[in-house]
Amino acid sequence: MNLKTFTFLALTLLLFLSCSNNKANESLRQEIIELQIQNDSLKEIVMEKEEHLNSSETPQWFYPETDARKLFESGIENPEAYIKNALLEKTDLIPMDAVLGGTMHYNNIQLLGDQWLIADFEDGHVYGKVIVKYTIGENNEVAFKIIALSDN
């Protein structure tokens, strides 16, 4: 085989390899783009789910439309806040005494339907949780009764 033929075949082979390599590279680039789009959409879904779970406005056990119908009918616009605020004022219900000069207060309160709620309390040194039964009286007064206590 002479040098011209060999050079021609070598260049043709290089050209062919570079073209097929470009096609493979382009295919890989396209696949990467598609995966990035899919990854971005999955990240967005995860973020939405996390926001939904972390949202303090999302009732998990309390549905105002059904669980607080009486309060709505009597003009209370935010029954969940109304009941929570009523409990916040009742720190005397906390069944543990504060220590080292602390003051007992409620932290997290979550309504569990139209009769119960769960709350945690502390003074910075002592911590506990309670399950409370609540009832709504005639003048929308909220009465509480502790039915379970967990102290740590």
The DSSP secondary-structure symbol of 106 reads: E
Determine the Cα–Cα distance for residues 122 and 107; give it in Å rounded to an integer.
7
Determine the Cα–Cα distance for residues 118 and 104; give it in Å rounded to an integer.
16
Q: Tokens 């740590």 appear where? A: 152
Determine the Cα–Cα distance for residues 151 and 138; give it in Å rounded to an integer.
33
Q: Tokens 């602390």 appear where? A: 102
Determine the Cα–Cα distance for residues 57 and 149; give it in Å rounded to an integer.
26
Residue by residue, pLDDT tens for the chain (152 residues) are 577 776 776 667 666 666 666 666 788 888 888 888 887 888 788 777 777 666 655 557 887 878 788 888 888 889 999 999 999 999 999 988 888 888 999 999 999 988 999 999 999 889 999 999 999 888 889 999 999 998 66
